[in-house]
Structure 1
Amino acid sequence: MSRKSSSNDKPDPTSQQTCCDHSPPEISAADVVRPPGSGAARAASVTPVAGVPGTGPARFRIDTMDCTAEEAEIRRALEPISGIRSLSFQLRARTLGIDAPAEVLPAALAAIRKAGFSPEAIQADATVEEQTREDHPDVHDHEHEVGGGIWRLALALAMAVAAEALSYFAPETQLWKFAGMAVAAVAIWLAGLDVYKKGVAALMRGKLNINALMSVAVTGAFFIGQWPEAAMVMALYGIAELIEARAVDRARNAIKGLLDLAPDQALVQQTGGQWVATPVQAVAVGATVRVGPGQRVPLDGVVTRGNGAVNQAPVTGESIPVDKTVGDPVYAGTINETGELEFRVTAGATNTTLARIIAAVEKAQGTRAPTQRFVDRFAAIYTPAVFLIALAVAIGAPFLMGLTWLEALYKALVLLVIACPCALVISTPVTVVSGLAAAARRGILIKGGTYLESARLLKAVAFDKTGTVTEGKPKLVDWMPWGTGNPAQTQLLAVSLAARSDHPVSGAIAAALPGDRLQVQDFTALPGRGVEGTVEQQRLFLGNHRAVHERGLCGPEVEAVLQAHEHQGRTVTLLANATRVLAIFAVADTIRPTSEQAIRDLKALGVTPVMLTGDNNATARAIAAQAGITDARGELLPEAKLEVIKQMQQRYGATGMAGDGINDAPALAQADLGFAMGGAGTDTAMESADIVIMNDDLRRVAEVVALSKSTHSVLWQNIVLALGIKAVFLVLAVFASATMWMAVFADMGASLLVVANGLRLLRATTGEGVCKAVAPAAAGGHAHVH
């Protein structure tokens, strides 16, 4: 499961698929080509061609390209042409973007036409509405097509029923026979015109896909006198295809919904102070934007005025709204639930956190999981093999089984309908996309099906301490006055000195003890030791253990208290005058509220947690004990963390690493699976890891493992289901009575079953921890995320 082989996860242009599998378009981050405008336009703008300012990839519509098998053929046709920088496919929109110099395009188009496709140029100066229509026909034209398709298929089904009725009840005369054949032919034409177009095109290219197989089978059945059955099969096939496509769209739309999170316009402050509604793509970085209660935040920014509770669930998966005030970040697509906020824009419409999430998810859809690659390879062998079996039955059955030639040919045609591995091929991308969507809803960005599927293999996960297991911010956890004196006055003296220092420990003391401040004179910073100053005519020192010890102020009792704090991983600061210690302050980086639950969840899933930190061993052990981690390694430099990951891989096997994605980069790269924490708004975290936890909730790591187990389980359920149904009907077709009706129900019924099974993962959301699925996983069963 080494990430070193991740390059193999990218789409294989030489792979062959024998079925229009409705799998997601394979899109690389650099390939995404969309017009400026609403929704999708903000997710990824047109990528300029290098060296040609203001231009983008040439875009073409190919009406007969709507599945990955046809995409692979086009890729292979364009491979020999030099000068093509990248290709971008939008299968649902049937569009292709070619990033290449203008002089290369004629050769590219000639190669596409030679492969049997007819590209039509999309005008570069098309309006936003026209381009949106072209890129997303499911939003405009597709609605009309689906509506028209339903009525056309309903009429085809009625005609097929009429053909069956004429076959059974009409008198046995040539007139009624021709009438029945005519009705059947109309039904086939209504339901199967597109199938025939694609089937003929595929056969001319020497390809065997579902359209080619159905075209041959239905035509053969019609001409051997089984015209009522041929009409019914084509009508049922068309209806099943429509239902299947709508079901698959549900999986895609679960992620596509991200595109609609951010509004199209923002209320922007103008130079004169007035507020004007402006398209988000026209809002410049640095502009001031206002968002009222109940409105969605249109762009990323930093709050400059106001306060309110913002629901960040669409981006980070946090279930509780987060309070925002001046200086806090806000993200596009989140919801301002209370109060009015004004914020300074920090990222353009195409570079917001939401836009980067969408681009990463689209790239993730383009990477194929190991199971999907296996299925694709299997399907490329399976369909031609069954076609040969059907041919053998047609030729050999009259001699070996005593059948007539028409009976043998009918059996062969039934086999052709059964042959398509549509259910097998479609099951994997639907399942993977459903899993990716379920994770995205929880604020977990998984960068590909490979990582989603391989997370189940993790045996150990290493956690960085600061900012991952802990909050990453020092807090005052305890303080006590020492000796005689007024505690309130002692606190005031300490806070007055601490407020003058810029050291994080001093800042934690000042933040935890609010109140008045006294004037400090002759303030002096002592690097590595503390600060010193005169407060109310007495010289005071606020500093660390070593500095107080050097001044000879640490007696046995003070030492005992300091050692007790330090054994708990706390940083101790002392307030002293020239003769004695006045107060002791203990500051610590506290663990996150969710860390303990996260570690329990991982252990229940059979994953061993290990904590790595650059802090001293005493601090490491103390923090690890609070989180429930028994193996803690301290005093580690980034290079040393990498070596620990190697040791863990040798000891445990597949090992993950969770860190902030910056100083943990070497360890993240070495680990089999890298988790970056707190990815919202962080470019480095989003780029450096395989999985990004958009908020800092450590429980998401265990949820990824549980979701991976569920995804793998569903994948193999679908494979067994699809192959099992095929096997049963193949036997029935050869050795018993299996009709074309049974064949089409076997093929399309299996497809619908595996799609529905894969869509179950869309419900994979959890409450606290990894929900009820952790217990069976710990007992050796499969974990299912509910």
Structure 2
Amino acid sequence: MGQTKRLYEIQGLHCANCALKIERELNQLYYVQSAVVNSVTSKAILEVDEDTNREIIFDDVESISTRIEHGVRVKEIEKNVISKKNVKVQGNVKSINSNSNDNKVKETKVTYKDSHSDDHVHNHNHDNGEGFKRKQITKFIIGISLAVAGVLTKDMISLFLFIASYLVIGGDILFIAGKNIIKGQVFDENFLMSIATIGAFLIGEYPEAIGVMLFYQIGEFFQELAVNKSRNSISELMDIRPDHANLKLSDGDISSVSPEEVGVGDIIVVKPGEKIPLDGVVVRGDSQIDTSALTGESVPRVVKERAEVLAGSINKTSLIEVKITKEFSESTVSKILELVENASNKKAPTEKFITKFARYYTPIVVILAILLAFLPPLAMGEDLYTWLYRGLSFLVVSCPCALVISIPLSFFGGIGGASRSGVLVKGGNYLEALSKAEVVIFDKTGTLTEGSFEVTKITPYGFITEDMLMEYAAYAEIYSNHPIAKSIVESYKKISTKAIIDKSRIKSYEEIPGKGVKIYFGDRYIYAGNYKLMEELEIRYVKSNEVGTIIYVAVNNNFVGSLVISDRIKNTSPMAIAKLKELGIKKIVMLTGDNKTIAEYVAKVISVDDVRAELMPHEKVSEVEKIYNGLSKKGRLIFIGDGINDAPVLARADIGIAMGGIGSDAAIEASDVVIMTDDPEKISTSIKIARKTQKIVVQNIAFSLLIKAIVLVLTALGITNMWMAVFADVGVTIIAVLNAMRAMKMEE
């Protein structure tokens, strides 16, 4: 039975603890293989049996989500979802209406409530606008005024004012707690805070009960603002999706349409300052484009006619016309957004630990609170008031908010920040693994070198001329897609006087993996490849000692000459290696199928620690296995290649990184991390981001657990009070969220 993925947006899902509960229940459904709910993006990704009825899946997601966090709204989102409604389009392009049968978004009938008392596990609110802020501040002022009046008066009037103050400040908490109890949700923060403060009221601590509820509400208010600020910051970080496309119609008119409605071959107009909405080729005009949102490169790129441009780039200076080469769903910007969003589906080990921790933490603390409140008075005759107060304070610290909110936020912020630097990380697990990198292995061609080859020396043998040698080599390589083969064909066309290749003269063609090619041409066999091919065929040849890739050519088992193919080292490669060493990477290795002479030359220029040359693809995997033996227990191995020819090694490494993956489906599919440019310096950037993110995660875990542990111990000893307990809950959460936001910012 096959598997398929379903994506749902749970609008109004603001509570990280709720997200964990929804995720847990979704994973218990019989047809679900895995489910991940991301409170940062308010998305749920389900991997389900492909023959499961979609209505059943949707109804289950809706039922579970609305039961756990009342007032949310669920949408199923397809990959090619059309997000623009009522787009007016002229000419032969159809219009889109939100009521159309083509609308691919299914929506529940659950509506938003126009209030802020939604039945959340936390008192998180859907509206964080100015109206909400004014309402909350007004509530705080009235509540404080009533409490002050209660302090200044006596007897029943004082009690009445205290009760009124308490209800004004915390009435919504009591209401939500009551509704949750009816639904069977007891151990949520609203219920625990209600019990703690009502208990304080019952033992006569009126000002403290009001003060704790006020502090809690103010803390929740600032926590919500901080979380939403971080969500908005991440959204802005990922805001590379174009809003519209200026479609050029057959009559020459321009119509503003949704990017999804533009087809391959259509012409669009991109004005200065606009985002390029789809991938294409410039057919008119020249300009400068800003690709920083995709690649992290700050210097604008000059484009002219026939230049390729990518969706998400910004046109800076002049109007250009672009012929579309990919539909929006297949465009670069679409792939980037999908990749980053799907990254939440792959949780880091630390996130998985927090998920398990949160599941047991609250029940354990609640049980301890009950034991603390009643065991000493019952077993040892201690004062009930004293221990009841301590137990109530324990309840306030019983929610793991700081961890369940800040840890996913840190990883998602790190992934978002990396994407703005031109590094696409496919999951929090890979980001965490990157932070532990000890050994970095590079492929040579196209990674540390330019990968743009040219024939730099032609050495015919015997009575063969240079033209004849180039002709034999070009015919032999004409069907190969390898960059070296293409460079031979291009060189033949440039330097030969009769550079016309008649493919009909080739009777047969055979590639010999890792060695070369063999063709039957006219009435003879032609061989072109490395020295291994010559030795396998037992052909006597003249070995070349030139620095470069050597292609030997033979006709009917007779050696006829050799070609030297050169590839330039990238200008940034030496600095890339130096930066990795500065980061403390223990070993940097270069693997290549190229000859030993050129491999050692490149290794010397860029200062790698070790080089292993003349390797077949399967031999690269064997070499990686050997290198693994030198890793520490926690160390990780990174391999950087082109994402296509090195797929086996990318799969074997702890983290496979594909270079120059922009626009390459194969690279994105094969690797764990995609570097959007051809700059090897981005490897050190990705490790820096990963280490910074991991440092923030560790800081938040250590800080949150330490403060909670200290407050719990001090509370049990009677040294602290409810005020400190509220800080350990809400205050620590705010600090952890603000700290998590630093993961989005990368200092170069």
The TM-score range, normalised by the shorter chain, is 0.7 to 0.9
The residue aligned with 2:221 is 242
- In 2, Cα distance between equivalents of 1:337 and 1:316: 16
Q: Offset of 1:314 from its aligned partner?
A: 0.5
Q: Deviations over 1:717-755 (max 9, x none)?
A: 222211221122222212234222222123222112222
**How far 1:347 sits from its partner (Å)?**
2.0
Shift of 1:603: 2.1
- CA-to-partner distance for each residue in 1:648-673, whole Å, 9 max, x for gaps? 11233532111111111011111111
- Following superposition, the deviation at residue 451 of structure 1 comes to 0.9
* Most deviating of 311-320 and 617-626: 617-626
Alignment partner, residue 588 of structure 1: 566
- The answer to whether residue 397 in structure 2 is matched with residue 418 in structure 1 is yes
Structure 2 counterpart SS, 1:320? coil
Q: Is residue 684 of structure 1 aligned with residue 684 of structure 2?
A: no
Change (3 A) 1:337 1:251: same
Q: Mapping of 1:414-493 within 5 angstroms?
A: 414-475=393-454
Alpha-carbon spacing, 1:713–1:78, altered in 2? closer, same or farther (3 Å): closer
2:187 alignment counterpart: 208
2:354 equivalent to 1:375: yes
Name the count of aligned residue pairs: 660
Query: 1:407 is paired with a residue of what secondary structure?
Result: helix
- Match of 1:217, SS state, is helix
- Map of 1:181 onto structure 2: 163
Partner of 1:599: 577
Residue 305 of structure 2: SS of its match in structure 1? coil
The structure whose residues are more often helix, as a share, is: 1
**CA distance 1:267–1:94, shift in 2 (3 Å):** closer
Provide TM-score, normalisation by structure 2. 0.76
SS of equivalent residue, structure 1 residue 304: strand
Q: Given the alignment, which residue of 719, 724, 727 partners 2:701? A: 719
Per the TM alignment, residue 297 of structure 1 is displaced from its structure 2 partner at its CA by: 0.6
Q: 1:334 to 1:114 in 2, by over 3 A?
A: closer
Which has the larger displacement, 584-593 or 418-427?
Answer: 584-593
Task: Give the counterpart of 1:67 among 9, 15, 26.
Answer: 15
Moved more, 303-312 or 200-209: 200-209
Give the Cα separation in 2 of the matches to 1:685 and 1:270: 35
Residue of structure 1 equivalent to 2:56: 104
- How far apart are residue 105 of structure 1 and its match? 6.4
Amino acid at match of 2:162: G
Cα offset, 1:283, TM superposition: 0.7
Query: Does the Cα contact within 8 Å between 1:208 and 1:383 map onto a contact in 2?
Result: yes
Alignment of 1:609 with 2:588, yes or no, is yes
Work out whether 1:751 is the aligned partner of 2:729.
no
* Per-residue deviation, residues 93-134 of structure 1 (Å, max 9, x unmatched): 978799852673698489649966668887999994988999
* Residues 262 and 299, structure 1, Cα contact 8 Å, conserved in 2: no
Structure 2 CA distance, aligned partners of 1:454 and 1:403? 52
Query: Which residue pairs with 1:732 in the alignment?
Result: 714
CA drift of 1:313 comes to 0.9
Name the structure 1 match of 2:306. 327
Residue 580 of structure 1: aligned partner: none
Equivalent residue number for residue 49 of structure 1: none
Give the superposition deviation at 1:83: 5.8
Q: Is 1:343–2:322 an aligned residue pair?
A: yes
Is contact 1:109–1:119 with CA below 8 Å preserved after alignment? Answer: no
**1:705 is aligned with what amino acid?**
I
User: CA–CA distance in 2 between the matches of 1:347 and 1:388?
Assistant: 59
* Equivalent position SS for 2:5: coil
Aligned mate of 2:271, from 292, 300, 316: 292
What corresponds to 2:258 in structure 1?
279
Query: 1:655-704: CA deviations, max 9, x gaps?
Result: 21111111110111111110011111111111111111111111111222
| Corresponding position of 2:684 | 702
- Relative to structure 1, the CA distance from residue 283 to residue 136 in structure 2 (aligned partners, 3 Å threshold; closer, same or farther) is farther
Q: 1:693 aligns with which of 675, 687, 690?
A: 675
Q: Distance in 2 between matches of 1:693 and 1:106?
A: 36
Give the CA deviation at 1:711: 2.3
Amino acid at match of 2:5: A
**Aligned-residue offset at 1:590:** 0.8
C-alpha distance in structure 1 between counterparts of 2:446 and 2:625, whole Å? 23
Q: How far off is 1:591 after superposition?
A: 1.4
Aligned to 1:156: 139
Query: Where does residue 21 of structure 1 map in the other structure?
Result: none
Which of 611, 621, 646 aligns to 2:625? It is: 646
Superposed counterparts of 1:260-271, under 5 Å: 260-271=239-250
* Higher mean displacement: 749-758 or 444-453: 749-758
What letter corresponds to residue 591 of structure 2 in structure 1?
L
CA distance in 1, matches of 2:353, 2:4: 24
Q: State how far apart, in whole Å, the 2-side matches of 1:624 and 1:175 are.
A: 86
Distance verdict in 2 for CA 1:204–1:738, change over 3 Å: farther
Write the letter of the residue equivalent to 2:744: L
- Matched residues in 2 for 1:545 and 1:89: separation? 53
CA contact (8 A) 2:66 2:72 kept: no
Structure 2 contact 641–657 (Cα < 8 Å) conserved: yes
8 Å contact kept, 2:38–2:344: no
- In the aligned structure 2, how far is the partner of 1:691 from the partner of 1:753? 30
Q: Secondary structure at the match of 1:614?
A: coil
Greater RCO, CA 8 A, separation 6+: 1
Tell me, in whole angstroms, the C-alpha distance in 1 between the residues paired with 2:458 and 2:175: 82
Deviation at 1:210, TM superposition (A): 2.4
Distance in structure 1 (CA, Å) of the matches to 2:145 and 2:271: 60
For residues 282 and 672 of structure 1, do their structure 2 counterparts lie closer, same or farther at Cα, with a shift above 3 Å needed? same
1:281 to partner: Cα distance: 1.6
- Distance change >3 Å, CA 739–CA 284, structure 1 → 2: same
Structure 2: any 5+ residue segments left out of the alignment?
Answer: 77-81, 87-97, 99-104, 117-124, 460-465, 479-484, 507-515, 518-527, 532-541, 554-561
Describe the superposition over 1:498-518 as per-residue Cα deviations: whole angstroms up to 9, x where unpaired.
Answer: 99998644577699x9xxx99
Query: SS at the partner of 2:615?
Result: coil
Q: What root-mean-square deviation, in Å, do the aligned CA atoms of Structure 1 and Structure 2 show?
A: 4.5
Give, in whole Å, the separation in 1 of the partners of 2:398 and 2:730.
Answer: 11
d(CA) in 2 for partners of 1:402, 1:444: 64
CA contact (8 A) 1:184 1:228 kept: no
Mark the CA change 1:680 to 1:102 in structure 2 (over 3 Å): closer, same or farther: closer
Matched residue type, 1:153: Q
Mark the CA change 1:523 to 1:265 in structure 2 (over 3 Å): closer, same or farther: closer
Q: CA deviation at 1:449?
A: 1.0
* Alignment partner of 2:375 out of 376, 379, 396: 396
Q: Is the 8 A contact 1:83 1:101 kept in 2?
A: no
8 Å contact 2:397–2:725 — kept in the other structure?
Answer: yes
Give me the whole-angstrom Cα distance separating, in 1, the residues matched to 2:298 and 2:630. 37
Change (3 A) 1:69 1:198: farther
**Could you tell me whether the CA contact under 8 Å between 1:221 and 1:227 is conserved in 2?**
yes
Give the aligned residue type for 2:602: I
Q: Is the 8 A contact 1:569 1:622 kept in 2?
A: no
Between 312-321 and 129-138, report the one with greater CA deviation.
Answer: 129-138
Question: What secondary structure does 1:463 align onto?
Answer: strand
